[in-house]
Amino acid sequence: MTVTLLSLSLFSPAQSFTDTNRIFSQYIAPSGCPAPCRFITTSLYRFSGDTLIDTLHYRKILLSEDSTATWQVTGFARETPAGKVYFRRKFRDDSISGEGLTYDFSLLPGDTMYFYNPFLDDFHDTCVLVRLDTVEMFDSARKVFYLKSLSCLRDSCDWYERWIEGIGSLTGPLLSGFPFNPWTGSWQTLLCVHYGDVLIFSNPEFDDCYYNTTSVPQRFTDKTKVLISPDPVTDISFLEVSGPPAAYLLEIFTPSGRLLQKRNIPAEGKAILQAADFRPGLCFFRVTKKNGATYTGKFVVVR
């Protein structure tokens, strides 16, 4: 999978993986579910606050499994100044797992790491950093780590685990090591990472950062198109729906999913977008027909 990194402003978010300003969205679908899979979910993760466990300071790992972002504590994370990240999992009976080293952003090519992730059913293995690259994000270089388990190296398999510094595993923030795990009950991948309302990572294989928790929305199947002109939106632009006359609802969101506007599109199929109504950066929109079919897209605001 190709990694696409979006530079939408000049400020540089901190490299810390457990930074409390980050929101991660993760796509989950059952293995073998045919497209369009109607049993997908999107999980959101973030870090919050501090808590003391066995005299060590941790940040809470918060999970949301609905679009209204109702958060619950699912575990705890501890990050050292050297870039090592340890996880502890919180179970439904409120018990807490032991601590496992899940990331080590200080690794150099050839270094080995004894890996233990409590969120992968206590899966553990020894892995080796086989390649180290860098990418530019927000004018700062981030390391890209390519790891293989010792058993994978021994068997000459093609599976890699990939991390990005400050972003984590491309499978999902809590799923470091998932490619090494023989359990294959679902397909999971990182969709997006936001720093506040700024999108800093986007998976190019997906159109959105959030998918419905029970089904894939029906797409426009006729010749209806949605166009924004001019784009970027610098003053006044127009969102125009071209197609058979119908009633349409327009919703506009921040990259983190916060609803900014919700309004009906006039009968002539054209809605006004004013740059003054939005913060500079990326916005997502969704146009919905009365029958539930949707069209999603994005536009950039420059002021």
* 153 shares its domain with 246: no
* 57 shares its domain with 156: yes
* Domains contained in the chain, number: 2
- Domain end call among 148, 168, 202: 202
Classify residue 7: in a domain, yes or no. no
Classify residue 17: in a domain, yes or no. no
* 119 shares its domain with 229: no
Higher pLDDT, 88 or 290: 88
* 64 shares its domain with 152: yes
Encode the chain in three state secondary structure.
Answer: CCCECCCCCCCCCCCCCCCCCEEEEEEEEECCCCCCCCCCEEEEEEEEEEEEECCEEEEEEEEECCCCCCCEEEEEEEECCCCEEEEEEECCCCCECCCEEEEECCCCCCCEEEEEEHHHCCEEEEEEEEEEEEEEECCEEEEEEEEEEHHHHHHCCCCCEEEECCCEECCCCCCCCHHHCCCCCEEEEEEEEEECCEEEEECCCCCCCCCCCCCCCCECCCCCEEEEECCCECCEEEEEEECCCCCEEEEEECCCCCEEEEEECCCCCEEEEEHHHCCCEEEEEEEEECCCCEEEEEEEECC
Query: Band of the pLDDT at 11, cuts 50, 70, 90?
Result: very low
* 156 shares its domain with 38: yes
Average pLDDT over residues 215-219: 42
* 194 shares its domain with 237: no
Classify residue 4: in a domain, yes or no. no
Average pLDDT over residues 185-208: 79
- What lies within 8 Å, CB to CB, of 96 at 6+ separation is 53, 76, 88, 89, 90
Average pLDDT over residues 6-24: 65
CA nearest neighbour of 105 among 151, 141, 62? 141
Classify residue 269: in a domain, yes or no. yes
* 106 shares its domain with 164: yes
Average pLDDT over residues 252-273: 84
Average pLDDT over residues 48-76: 87
Phi and psi dihedrals of 210, rounded to 5?
A: -150, 135
* 183 shares its domain with 144: yes
* 243 shares its domain with 116: no
Classify residue 30: in a domain, yes or no. yes
Please report the pLDDT score of residue 138 as a whole number.
Answer: 55
Q: What is the pTM of this model?
A: 0.69
User: Is residue 18 predicted with pLDDT exceeding 90?
Assistant: yes
Classify residue 110: in a domain, yes or no. yes
* 45 shares its domain with 166: yes
Please report the pLDDT score of residue 32 as a whole number.
Answer: 60
Going by their DSSP bridges, the two strands 186-195 and 22-30 should be labelled as antiparallel
CATH at residue 279 = 2.60.40.10
Q: What range does the domain containing 258 cover?
A: 225-301
Higher pLDDT, 196 or 84: 84
Please report the pLDDT score of residue 211 as a whole number.
Answer: 67
Q: Per-residue pLDDT tens for 134-162?
A: 887 655 678 999 999 887 777 677 778 99
* 151 shares its domain with 247: no
The rounded distance, in Å, linking the Cα atoms of 127 and 114 is 7
Please report the pLDDT score of residue 99 as a whole number.
Answer: 95
Classify residue 3: in a domain, yes or no. no
* 197 shares its domain with 51: yes
Average pLDDT over residues 205-221: 56
